[in-house]
């Protein structure tokens, strides 16, 4: 398999994998009127309660310029709130509203069901190997 062939290239295979699995998740998100980037933000906030926007950016892999709009729309939708930091006046602290909190128990079970579906389709070993290798790739240019 010639790796430099476009259709077999690492980028295309990564995109193809995402195109395969993400629609399954998006169907769930749409039920609740949110998008995939918004769901990523929610999942982080379900763990953190409160978090600075820049850290939210790192964890969600959403760049700041995109994240500003994502948070804007989530705020309009009553899912999150923006607050100023007392310690560092440059920082914006994001936290969930009650509406945002309540979504966890509705969305997470359905999301986990899709994960289970994926795991059952490819052996746990393959999945772990994939994650291990993807992690290696993500470290290629670090330091």
Three-state DSSP class for residue 44: helix
Using DSSP, state whether 95 is helix, strand or coil: strand
Interface residues for DNA in 48-77 (CB under 7 A)? 52-54, 57, 62-71, 73
Please say whether the beta carbons of 3 and 96 come within 8 A: no
DSSP three-state, residue 11: helix
Binding mask 24-63 for its own copies (x = CB under 8 A): xx--------------x--xx--x-----------x-x--
The strands making up 80-84's β-sheet, listed across from edge to edge, are 50-52, 92-96, 80-84
Q: Does 105 bind its own copies (CB under 8 A)?
A: no
Q: Number of C-alpha atoms within 13 angstroms, CB side, residue 62?
A: 19
Of 82 and 106, CB closest to DNA: 82
Q: Which residues bind its own copies (CB under 8 A)?
A: 1, 3-4, 6-22, 24-25, 40, 43-44, 47, 59, 61, 111-112, 115, 118-119, 121-122, 126-131, 133-141
Q: Which residues bind DNA (CB under 7 A)?
A: 22-23, 26, 30, 35, 37-38, 52-54, 57, 62-71, 73, 82, 88-93
């Amino acid at each position: 398999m010639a790796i430099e062939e476009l259709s077999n290239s690492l980028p295309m295979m990564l995109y193809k994998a995402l195109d395969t699995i993400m629609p399954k998740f998006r169907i769930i998100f749409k039920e609740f009127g949110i998008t995939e980037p918004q769901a990523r933000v929610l999942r982080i906030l379900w763990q953190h309660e409160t978090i600075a926007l820049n850290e939210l950016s790192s964890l969600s892999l959403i760049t700041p310029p995109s994240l500003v709009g994502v948070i804007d729309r989530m705020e309009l939708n009553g899912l999150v709130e923006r607050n100023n930091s007392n310690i560092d006046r440059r920082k914006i602290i994001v936290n969930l509203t009650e509406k945002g909190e309540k979504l966890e128990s509705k969305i997470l079970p359905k999301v986990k069901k899709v994960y289970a579906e994926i795991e059952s389709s490819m052996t746990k070993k393959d999945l772990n190997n994939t994650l291990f290798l993807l992690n290696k790739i993500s470290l290629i240019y670090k330091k």
